[in-house]
Structure 1
């Protein structure tokens, strides 16, 4: 079992979109992220409370989905220890030069095929004069644009088998499972894992198509629940498809709103900021199928597309 805090936090993600101009408009004008450079087909975007160069790398592609997830190690020594452990697990890819603002980066995959990058060296963001904050303990001025999400909060992956990938993240990277769903057939339907005192950073849920390496959703945190209510009106006015919410999850008690960005990727707005896992001996909460069938915390039934929509799109088992 890997020691805790070898991974400092979820840092950033690279999202693929077949509609790059529309997706960029969504993330900057509607969601309120700030552009911080570009490289070829990729644009680097940041949330206003992120201390690093970028929170999201948006890349034009022939289809949607997630290309890579960035994790920052807790130290140079922690980075070297985790690289050794990943290599021993047979899932390493190798070293490469990092994206802007990042030092040497080690690439690897989880057992389901999702790609990650792990690094230590990071250039802290220095805001230009027009984005300088009034408070010196804040990296960037509050942009006051669109939803104004505060930070990248978590990523939910679809996986052919939840067990192998979640156990890899637990045993090799040092995450802790806070909650999970146990199906009637004995399989795990979903696992929520954390590297920090947040209740979760990464989630694995079972992919009903049996496909590997797909994305369920990318989640951004807001300051308050009211920001999510306001966001629903912003999305409505901008023709953004609202899939479900606003409402409250039973698992993790997160207040949520799910939408599809123009490239087809599911995006969540969440407000989990009041719930932390402080107990060092936290015992994993297990939910049964019967309990999950009751719906969300206040009785909202889980919408069918929540179980069927993922990116990139693939044919359903019925379609062959």
Structure 2
């Protein structure tokens, strides 16, 4: 058991790539209920209503789908400096950047699989315009009157050539802890769920069945209630959004969920894990066996086959995307 360092406070934001920028923007604003916080070139900055920072999602037009970078907020300037030293010692640092709108100096680095992550401390607290001012002063923004009304960015599930190696890096370099994992009969750890604070998980690594690197399994947003997940299914149905599976309940982490594809092809999870927290300072990692995992969800329909095969970018575009993004100084898609 490793103790949490608390040097990383939480998952801050994600940059998502889409080959259908207008339709993807429609999905995140009209269907999910996110708010535009600005734009720059091919990128639009979006926020959930309960996000205290400038934005939680950067949506960027690109030749294909996938994830470009994941932002993590440090718990202090001293914590940022400590984690940067640890990342450099691991040989996976990229370097300092000026940061995105609303964020100060940012240190970019890669996990062993090539996904780019960005660590920062300085941030701009959101000040809503008058039309978005909430009735309650302890809420950053008024509750959206349209769409699903997602509350916050919840977690990122990365596909990786080797989940355990990436989980070990997040644990050792960033001070996270593994809350749950899957061990195959061969002894291989095929998936790990890690957290930085009291949430049950912030980052997930899952073995990529294709053996490729740098891909995304899904990006997840939390709703206020389980009933919002049911309402989300109706909203997606009425608006032609592809529902992959759900609503069901996961056995691992007990999350109530709905998986859909946004128009750019990225898998989006709408989830309600808000009531499950890890409070034990000596939490013992829960390990699921291959046989236990094969049983599927806690309840609901059997896990759909595409859940184990679909990732972004599509494998056939992975090599070209990796070449392009390396030229741009970022990680593979």
Task: Pick the TM interval, shorter chain.
Answer: over 0.9
* Residue 108 (structure 2) aligns with: 107
1:224-303 correspondence runs (5 A): 224-298=225-299, 300-303=301-304
Quick check: 1:156 aligned with 2:194? Answer: no
* 1:47–1:54 CA contact under 8 A, matched in 2: yes
Unpaired segments of 5 or more residues in structure 2? 318-333
* Residue 97 (structure 1) aligns with: 98
Q: Which deviations, in whole Å up to 9, do the C-alpha atoms of 1:180-199 show, x marking residues without a partner?
A: 00011111110000001000
Instruction: Report the CA distance shift for 1:210/1:123 in structure 2 as closer, same or farther (over 3 A).
Output: same
* 2:152–2:223 CA contact under 8 A, matched in 1: yes
Q: Hey, which of these two has a bigger chunk of helix by percent? A: 2
In the superposition, the TM-score normalised over structure 1's length comes to 0.97
Secondary structure of 1:48's match?
coil
Secondary structure of 2:315's match?
coil
Deviating above 3 A after TM superposition, structure 1's stretches of 4 or more consecutive aligned residues are: none
* Residue 147 (structure 2) aligns with: 146
Q: Which deviations, in whole Å up to 9, do the C-alpha atoms of 1:185-215 show, x marking residues without a partner?
A: 1111100000010000000000000010100
Secondary structure of 2:231's match?
helix
Shift of residue 300, structure 1, vs aligned partner = 2.7
In the superposition, the TM-score normalised over structure 2's length comes to 0.94
CA distance in 2, matches of 1:234, 1:299: 20
Shift of residue 303, structure 1, vs aligned partner = 0.7
1:105-254 correspondence runs (5 A): 105-254=106-255
Secondary structure of 2:174's match?
coil
Q: Which deviations, in whole Å up to 9, do the C-alpha atoms of 1:222-261 show, x marking residues without a partner?
A: 0000000000000000000000000100000000000000
Q: Which deviations, in whole Å up to 9, do the C-alpha atoms of 1:141-193 show, x marking residues without a partner?
A: 00121000000000000000011110000011000100000011111110000
CA distance in 2, matches of 1:50, 1:230: 22
Shift of residue 2, structure 1, vs aligned partner = 8.2
CA distance in 2, matches of 1:306, 1:97: 37
Give the total of aligned pairs.
Answer: 316
CA distance in 2, matches of 1:239, 1:254: 25
CA distance in 2, matches of 1:283, 1:68: 30
CA RMSD of aligned residues (A): 1.1
Shift of residue 120, structure 1, vs aligned partner = 0.3
Shift of residue 127, structure 1, vs aligned partner = 0.3
CA distance in 1, matches of 2:3, 2:186: 29
CA distance in 1, matches of 2:64, 2:312: 8
CA distance in 1, matches of 2:316, 2:63: 16
* 1:16–1:60 CA contact under 8 A, matched in 2: yes
Q: Which deviations, in whole Å up to 9, do the C-alpha atoms of 1:108-156 show, x marking residues without a partner?
A: 0000000000000001000010100111100000012100000000000
* 1:2–1:173 CA contact under 8 A, matched in 2: no
